[in-house]
């Protein structure tokens, strides 16, 4: 992606996808057009309808549009969501998924004081490594956790906290059971924390975190976790503040960014 910070015009890749994705893209562009910034929108196809029409859910032409843009707006995909959004994240090396959970006025929030960010690792974990059916009676899914990717996302979370005036980062894992993979995550979490003595740290098991989000959600500021756990906890967070329709998602990489709603098509 073209990520030059000082430009007169910004090229935005717009990928509406399926269902309500088209509707939310129209609303997003209406808001962008109200800003005093010059945007050039380039549209690409992806999703279920695209698969039926073109034989692929994510054409190379759409990937090229995204690569050449300054940023991407993505609507939603149906049954092909994994084939579309996961591939875009991988192709564009978008390692960080940011999902803010915030209570807004006139919404059905559990508390008016909820305001935290979930920072989710985007490039590995259970979603990325693949699955295999070895017989009709069972299947295997691989979960990959590496020092490089986890250190990068944890450091990103601490930098985000410092740059946005947050005082605490919470690491979420299941190291009591997943001793090797999540044990590594926890180890790296506290190694990185030593670089940020101004930021308080704590860690919780993911199941305990699911409870604490309900019983003491106001105590969270920044949560950093692995791929699957971040996906589940952010949907729970949406339930705290009125539903999936109120939660945005940013996929951030070294060479670009993609912005999308959390809800499906």
HSE value, Cβ hemisphere, 13 Å, CA-based, for 162: 12
Summarize the confidence of residues 70-87 as an average pLDDT: 91
Residue that has been written with the tokens 């807004």 in this structure: 104
Query: Given this model, what pLDDT does residue 129 score?
Result: 67
What are the distances in angstroms from CA 124 to CA 34, 109, 145, 240? Answer: 38, 32, 6, 27
Q: What is the mean pLDDT of the chain?
A: 93
Q: What is the pTM of this model?
A: 0.90
Q: pLDDT per residue over 94-115, tens digit each?
A: 999 999 999 999 888 989 999 9
pLDDT of residue 177 exceeding 80, the answer is yes
CATH number listed for the domain at residues 95-246: 3.40.718.10
Domain chopping of the chain, boundaries: 1-92, 95-246
- Residue 124, token pair as written in the block: 């590995």
Q: pLDDT grade, residue 163 (50/70/90)?
A: very high
Q: Which residue has the higher pLDDT, 195 or 134?
A: 195
Query: Given this model, what pLDDT does residue 25 score?
Result: 92
Q: What percent of the chain has pLDDT over 90?
A: 81
């Amino acid at each position: 992606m073209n990520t030059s910070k000082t430009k007169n015009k910004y090229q935005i890749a717009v990928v509406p996808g399926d269902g309500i994705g088209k509707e939310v893209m129209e609303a997003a562009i209406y808001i962008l057009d109200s800003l005093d910034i010059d945007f050039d929108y380039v549209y690409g196809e992806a999703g279920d309808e695209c698969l039926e029409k073109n034989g692929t859910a994510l054409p190379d032409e759409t990937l090229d549009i995204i690569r050449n843009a300054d940023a991407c707006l993505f609507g939603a995909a149906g049954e092909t969501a994994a084939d579309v959004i996961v591939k875009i994240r991988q192709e564009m090396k978008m390692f960080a998924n940011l999902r803010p959970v915030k209570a807004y006025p006139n919404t059905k929030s559990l508390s008016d004081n909820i305001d935290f960010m979930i920072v989710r690792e985007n490039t590995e974990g259970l979603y990325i490594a693949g699955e295999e059916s070895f017989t009709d009676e069972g299947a295997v899914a691989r979960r990959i956790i590496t020092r490089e990717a986890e250190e990068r996302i944890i450091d990103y979370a601490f930098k985000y906290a410092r740059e946005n005036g947050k005082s605490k980062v919470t690491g979420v894992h299941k190291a009591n059971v997943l001793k090797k993979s999540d044990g590594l995550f926890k180890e790296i979490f506290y190694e990185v924390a030593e670089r940020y003595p101004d930021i308080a740290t704590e860690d919780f098991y993911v199941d305990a975190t699911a409870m604490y989000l309900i019983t003491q959600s106001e105590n969270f500021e920044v949560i950093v976790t692995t791929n699957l756990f971040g996906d589940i906890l952010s949907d729970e967070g949406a339930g705290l503040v009125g539903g999936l329709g109120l939660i945005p998602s940013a996929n951030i990489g070294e060479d670009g960014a993609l912005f999308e709603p959390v809800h499906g098509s």
